[in-house]
């Protein structure tokens, strides 16, 4: 039994490292195996365009927050606090990127609906003013 378990662990390790095709064992496809789910998830999780965008120096990331003043950090904190207090917002909405630099706030990340996007924008606008918010939030559902 230990030998079979050890062999299976080795095969799984090789499959996860990409050395063998996990969907085929002894020339027989595995019906609806876990690897089908992994393949589908990998196809949906292609963030290549977003990663290229984020490498652009013009795109603010949370690391840029450290370049700001104490006031910028405080504004970001107040916006995050307002979002976390709103239990009607989705988990994605609670986890958006908020970066305030020189009094201007950038909001980025996926949200569930256009209504949720508007509610987030309104909360940020109350802290920094509507003209000081760059809204890059992306609606994931119609």
Domains observed in the chain: 57-139 (3.30.1340)
CB 120 within 8 A of CB 107: yes
Residue carrying the six token digits 């405080």: 74
Percentage of residues of the chain with pLDDT beyond 90: 49
Query: Looking at per-residue confidence, does 5 or 92 come out higher?
Result: 92
- Closest by CA position to 33, among listed 43, 22, 44: 22
pLDDT at 65: 59
Residue carrying the six token digits 């990340």: 109
Helix axes 70-85, 114-128, angle to 10 degrees: 140
Q: Is residue 124 over pLDDT 70?
A: yes
Decide: residue 137, CB within 10 A, 0-12 exposed, 13-18 middle, 19+ buried.
buried
Q: Is residue 92 over pLDDT 70?
A: yes
Query: Looking at per-residue confidence, does 24 or 18 come out higher?
Result: 18
Which segment of 30-34, 98-102, 127-131 scores lowest on mean pLDDT? 30-34
């Amino acid at each position: 039994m230990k030998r079979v378990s050890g062999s299976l662990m080795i095969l799984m390790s090789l499959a996860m490292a990409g050395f063998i095709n996990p969907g085929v064992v002894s020339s027989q496809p595995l019906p609806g195996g876990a690897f089908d789910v992994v393949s589908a998830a990998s196809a949906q999780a292609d963030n290549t365009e977003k990663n290229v965008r984020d490498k652009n120096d013009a795109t603010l990331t949370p690391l840029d927050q450290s370049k700001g003043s104490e006031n910028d950090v405080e504004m970001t904190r107040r916006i995050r606090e307002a979002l976390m207090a709103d239990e009607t917002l989705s988990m994605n909405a609670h986890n958006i990127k908020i970066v305030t630099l020189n009094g201007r706030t950038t909001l980025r990340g996926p949200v569930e609906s256009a209504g949720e996007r508007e509610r987030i924008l309104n909360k940020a606008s109350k802290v920094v003013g509507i003209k000081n918010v760059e809204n890059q939030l992306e609606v994931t559902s119609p």
